[in-house]
A and B are shown apart, each in its own frame.
Chain A
Amino acid sequence: MAKLLVDRDKYAAPNASVVVDAYHAAIHDLIRRKLDASGGDWASFVFDKSYDLITAAEFAAIEKKLLATGHRFDWSAMISVHERPEAYKPATGLGEDLATFAFEHAEAVVAPPDAQGREQRGIGDNVVKYAQNLVGVARYIRSSDRVLELLTSGIPADTIAVIDDSGGTLTAPILEQFKGVICAGGTVRSHLGILTREYGIPCLMNAKISGIREGDRVEIECTAPAKTAEAYQTGVEMTAKVWRLGK
């Protein structure tokens, strides 16, 4: 079989991602076969014959083979799991099971109730330091269906949105109406962090929380110092607390 340049790589090492390794091995094999089939001349293959010989169907077959082993893909965009539930790991906490759903992050820092009855249920990176902490009602917002629902019914004024998308597009039509945001992802430089800063909405990014359910009253420590770029680069911990309050 034809040899590719990658077959002679002195410093080759496995990729940290099993999926990448599996795909690349399959693609290398595909190219060797197609190069052989084309006569083995690289110069006429690379930007000419390969355009016809290496097709979308060949790549689809590689994915099919991986799925046949039982592997299911991690999803990042809801549309992916929505269109192909058979190919992705299931999504939870997006719809009907919201009432029983809670983020449960292993790194969440929790503590018993303090003298004011506030039970710490997590931490996050404060985007902007404000004069007072913020109290509101936690509402999970994790899907475009949920955004559409709130867009139609109206966003309760006391909403502290609990989100795991550090982007700025999922909540684009309703973000401005949040009282506060707890985001289980990103950094204070993520798009959601940038936008909450522009809108003047207290926000914790990169939050690690546990046991906060839909409708819980929560307090976020937005009086904590804002996490700085230097703190991220040097690995210095600068966190703000998230408390669950009595009903």
Chain B
Amino acid sequence: MASSRLTYAQILETNNLIQANADETYWLCVTRTVQESKLFPVPAYMMLSYMMAYYRYPSLLRKIESRMSAEEIGDRARNAGIKIQNPSMGWALPGFYLLGREWLISLGMIRPQDALEDLVYLMDFWKRFQLSWHRNNGHITNKEFGHRGQFLPERKVQVFHADMYDCKQGDELHEAAQGFMAAASQYGFLISCESRISLHNSGPYKLADDREMIVRDFMDLSESDFPWLDGVASEVPYNNLTVTMAVKDSHFYLVDDWGSFESKPEFTADKLVGVGLYTSDTLSDSYIPVGMGSREELTSCFRSLTEKIKDANNKLWRRVAGWSRDQMMDAGAITYFSIVKDLAHVAGVYDVNDWMMVDERAERFRPLFNDEYSRDALVGLCIGTHTSHRLSGYTMMQHSNQPQRLYSLIPYSVLQGDDYTTTCGPVYPGASHLPPKEDRYNTTRGVIGLAEYNRLAREMRPPALDPKYRHLCETWVKYNAGTPLADELYRIEQSTSRLLKGKGSSLTRADIEKLRNAAH
């Protein structure tokens, strides 16, 4: 029996959030891409990761919030291209937990009314983070925004816009940037065991009538959290890299909560007409320009990074090719489960034992995860064919019109006396078949140990998030541009800008275009 009482309002809201996630999960799984691999046992590690998420996320989120609120972390997420964007936060945080919960319900191991306080808390954390991160667009997800991912304030978009270098197919910068993005994408898939968790696209932002900007983040590239990058990625100089891309004559009509996009006419290399490059992490105030001093420097920088990434890619592939199935399972499951680990980095409470280990309660299920059962069970979870998904024959699920619901709702009968349980318990011990993580983390403050990393994170006070500026939002800017306070705020972002340093808050998009044209 529960030790405390949930309210009707809490359950109503939680069920709404669960249902919204259920509808979008089905759509994403059916209409986006199939993830398969002959190298990694992907469905098997995904199933294992859902168990890890179910048993650990609630406790780990509570630990994070003991130092920093979800809303505050959401504010920070707008400031850096780190792994608390999509698919991590927009979909995976609730998704992995709810997929794990649903599988356990279908096994009969839990009921929809079990671990209710965990469930209500996790969904509430997610809601508060999402609303904060999406503050500038006012939606809770890209889905609610009509599959659009605009998060950044004008002051940051203006810097990206202004400092981007023009390029066209066939020129050196275009070729170097394309080569980098191809190599980084491939390396990202390998780092994240065939998932696209290392890649994130957001936007589009309208640069001109015929141009849009997509912001592409390549994350966890160097020696940082993943033990399997120790040694092989030591020469990759940045852990996170963000490429700003100006695209001509193509409209990005869909940017989903998995961080992938669709465009019309389809985006092809010849439509790339501008690029910029930045790094950032939980210890940086904002995006730091990389090789942005000149067009030649940027070209050279892309080429150099491409070579380093290719070298790391080949070394990592040889390492992975020698792994056992259990090691592949662990790496994949840890990649998935730890998709929200940067929340802990922002709060300065990251612990290897929390994020890089398989919880013993999840580990129990490993013998079930042969390739065939994992595939079929996973497909069933994603399209709603397990017994727990079935509803009354009168029901028509969004998208499929079938009598299904992807995630079980909380029964309201708990409000009139039906028993329920509150939590699955604290973090239990974990283990891994992979070598232990070496205490080396490549950050924007240099290569440091974890204790130092956490200490610096706890001391972080990004200037733009100082209480003086934190809530000077886009609505405020609309009516206060040109005031000393607005100029101060914009100059923080402009401090590392080649073209906008010190320009203040009065510039419009057209002014930025004029500055760009004058600079060329």
Interface residues of chain A, those whose CB is within 8 Å of chain B, are 4-7, 9-13, 15-17, 19-20, 23-24, 27-28, 31, 42-43, 46-48, 50-51, 54-56, 59-60, 62-63, 73-80, 83, 87-88, 128, 142-144, 147-148, 151, 164-170, 172-173, 175-176, 185-187, 189-191, 194-195, 197-200, 226, 228-229, 232-233
Contacts and interface: CB of A to CB of B under 8 A. Distances in A.
A199 B380 CA distance: 34
A167 B110 contact: no
B100 to A, nearest CB: 14
A60 B323 CA distance: 22
B385 A15 contact: yes
Nearest to A16: B385
A79 B325 contact: yes
Contacts of A79: 39, 41, 323-325, 328
B380 A198 contact: no
A11 B182 contact: no
B42 A77 contact: yes
B392 interface: yes
Contacts of A148: 318, 321
A226 B387 contact: no
Contact of A73 (B186, B371, B387, B419): B371
Most chain B beta-carbon contacts within 10 A, residue among A78, A189, A198? A198
A192 to B, nearest CB: 9
Interface residues of B, number: 84
A50 B38 contact: no
Nearest 6 CB-CB pairings of A with B = A198-B182, A17-B376, A167-B37, A11-B390, A60-B367, A165-B38
Contact of A80 (B41, B266, B320, B385): B41
Contacts of B33: 186-187, 189-191
A72 to B, nearest CB: 9
Contacts of B182: 176, 195, 198-199
B186 A59 contact: no
Nearest to B193: A169
Contact of A11 (B1, B183, B365, B391): B391
Contacts of B115: 47
Contacts of A23: 368, 373, 377
Contact of A167 (B189, B366, B380): B189
Contacts of B109: 27, 31, 46, 50, 54
B363 A56 contact: yes
Contacts of B111: 5, 42, 46
B240 interface: no
Given A24-B387, A77-B328, A88-B371, A172 B266 contact: no
Interface in B295-323: 313-314, 317-318, 320-321, 323
Contacts of A197: 268
Contacts of B372: 19, 73-75
Nearest to A35: B108
A168 B41 contact: no
Nearest to A229: B262
A54 B39 CA distance: 31
A20 B385 CA distance: 10
Interface string B407-443: 0000000000001010111001000000000000000
